[in-house]
Amino acid sequence: MVVKVEEQMVVMVRYGELFLKSEPVKRHFIGLLIRNIKRSLDAEGLSFRHETPRGRILIYGDHPRKIAAEVARVFGVVDVSVATITNNTPEEIGRVAKTLGQKHLKAGMRFAVRAKREKGSGGPDSQELGRVIGGVLLDAQPGAVVDLTHPEYEVFIEARGNGGFIYDHRIPAPGGLPFGTQGNAIGLISAGIDSPVASWMMMKRGCGMVHLNMDAGRWAGCATAAGAVENHRKLSLWVKGYPLRMLVVDSSPLYDAMSRGIPQRYICVICKRFMFRVAAELMPGEHAEVIVTGENLGQVASQTLSNLAVISSAVSAPVIRPLVTYDKGEIVTIARRIGTFNQKPGDLCCRAVPAMPSTGANLAEVIAAEEKIDFDLLIEQALERIKVITAMNGEITVHEKPECLSTPPCEM
Ligand code: ATP
Ligand code: MG
């Protein structure tokens, strides 16, 4: 069946895991994915229209390359290509492929054609189509060599019911699930490298995030507060069109209290238990179901298995630590890729860290130390003074008023 299609550029979007869902769930998730794509393109002022043939989203607009770059940052998208769409006949597809070959193939260059024909769209089968278009490319550059295993250049062909698609580049996207499909979490975020990566990983799996940051004031290095806001801001660039909120709690009274009369080796563990308790208190108002941290196994003294258990026992809420098994190098690689890595972060030093932090905290002793500093009252007071920082499309707004606290993180 030949379909007449006006030759033009189209952005072809592939999504992955959604295929595994049942038909109604898949439809629902694709709807949310399109909504998120729309939000990110609207945020950039890019007008478009879209179609959803089987297994793909096709986006038409005046700036296909800009559209493709934006869509390649939308969670749930696996990869994106700027394709030429034409009639689905081997002749028409070959004509477009030939111009690509003339432009990109050189003598001696290894190339492959990856062809797919959608069932029922007529014409030669995938293998035959690949062979025909391979021949066209060899005509365009007779010195080139077919190599299906280690090609230097690939041309992708899709003969579908709604047209023939030809492209030679796939822009990798994050994959995962559409943002907003998996409920909400509170993510403990710092100025460091790990926590923004942990938060990004949860957003990638479809979670709405509310960030929570502890501002330790004079106990923290002078770049710490701004570094946390910067991490939060950069993460908002991954969910364009959505306001991402960060709650900032003044934790300096805790450090003042801990500096007097408790076993100093427990400071780090109690600090983390404080963060968890504050997070747990905020969860209902934030419609959050879990706490997320960038904690890792063995990276610092507070992160031994036994300390992680003592920290978790401060709350009954579930705690997710997406990075627990990652090496620091692996985390840095992801941080660079997602844009949160900062080569020169400035002074992030914590002045409260003792010389010899405990690596095997005793829960009973920790609880006794907390009672000594009136831990519950410190938590109560911290909750009374919360600043909200909203990041949207990389722009920051600060709200000093706590009414903003009850706003859901994003409309699902
Ligand atoms: P990161 O782990 O993000 O690089 P870090 O190394 O400064 O930051 P750690 O001591 O490793 O912090 O803390 C482990 C986790 O505790 C962090 O990943 C983060 O989730 C949380 N956390 C640490 N400091 C803060 C803070 N000031 N506010 C909120 N959460 C924090
Ligand atoms: Mg860390």
pLDDT, position 393: 98
State the distance from the centre of ligand 2 to the C-alpha of 103, rounded, in angstroms.
48
Ligand 1 neighbour 275 (Cβ under 6 A): yes
Closest-CA residue, ligand 1 atom 4, reads 192
For CATH 3.30.2130.30, the residue range(s) in the chain are 8-172
* Neighbour count for residue 68 (Cβ, 10 Å): 24
Ligand 1 neighbour 294 (Cβ under 6 A): yes
pLDDT, position 121: 83
pLDDT, position 139: 95
Strands (E) located in 241-282? 244-250
pLDDT, position 412: 35
CB 56 within 8 A of CB 13: yes
Ligand having the closest approach to the CA of 276: 1
> Token pair 């196994």 is at which residue?
297
In percent, the amount of the chain with pLDDT more than 70 equals 96
CB 111 within 8 A of CB 147: yes
For CATH 3.40.50.620, the residue range(s) in the chain are 184-406
Ligand having the closest approach to the CA of 332: 1
pLDDT, position 401: 56
Q: Read off the tokens for 194.
A: 């790990």
Residues in the chain: 412
From the CA of 299, give the closest atom in ligand 1: 11
Q: Read off the tokens for 272.
A: 């983390």
Distance (Å, whole) CA 129 – CA 231: 48
pLDDT, position 203: 98
Residue ranges for the chain with pLDDT beneath 70 = 1-3, 401-412
From the CA of 212, give the closest atom in ligand 1: 29
Domain 184-406 CATH class label: alpha beta
| Residue pLDDT, tens place only, 299-334 | 888 899 999 999 999 999 999 999 999 999 999 999
Among 23, 31, 10, 13, smallest CA distance to 74 is for 13
Distance (Å, whole) CA 36 – CA 162: 25
In the CATH scheme, what is the code of domain 8-172?
Answer: 3.30.2130.30
